[in-house]
Amino acid sequence: MKLSSQNYYEDINVGQTIGPFVKNIDRKQLVMYAGASLDFNEFHYDYDVAKKAGHKGIIIHGALKSAWLAKLLVDFAGNAGNLKKFNVSYRGVDFPYENLKLSGKVIKKEIINSIGIIELEVNLENAEGKITTPCFAEVELPFKK
């Protein structure tokens, strides 16, 4: 979904899906993220350190995965919406050079104090289809005028 598009409360249905969108990043992008986030843990860019930590290779930053999920939700909310709640759980590591799938589903919608609230489950799945980073979110959407 493009940031310039706007979803409205009335147009969203329980069970509606978002995505999927695929991410596939490389080591250079992880190093760039390390510099931006100041997370220089070596298992994000040094293969030997990652192997010693028990991983098959370098791993993607958890906060980067959260950022991808947050962007999915902010794009869903559009310019006139708001991300109200965002709860991420890290259940597995993910690796660069693999196709990772970001997707979501509307699980509830309600009006609270004249505000349209949409509850969503969004996930990041690894290349094997395992959800490694589940997320629960609430998004406020505007009403049509």
Which tokens belong to 114? Answer: 């004249």
Distance between CA atoms of residues 58 and 136, nearest Å:
27
Task: Report the predicted TM-score, pTM, of the whole model to 2 decimal places.
Answer: 0.91
The fourth-level CATH superfamily of domain 9-24+61-141 is: Hotdog Thioesterase (3.10.129.10)
Structure confidence at residue 18 (pLDDT): 95
Please list the ranges in the chain whose pLDDT falls under 70. 1-4
Domain boundaries defined on the chain: 9-24+61-141
Closest CA to 104 of 75, 128, 80: 75
Structure confidence at residue 2 (pLDDT): 44
Question: Quick one: residue 15, left, alpha or beta (phi over 0 = left, psi -120 to 50 = alpha)?
Answer: left
Quickly count: other Cβ atoms within 10 Å of residue 90's Cβ. Answer: 14
Structure confidence at residue 4 (pLDDT): 52
Cα atoms in the 13 Å half-sphere on the side-chain side of 115? 13
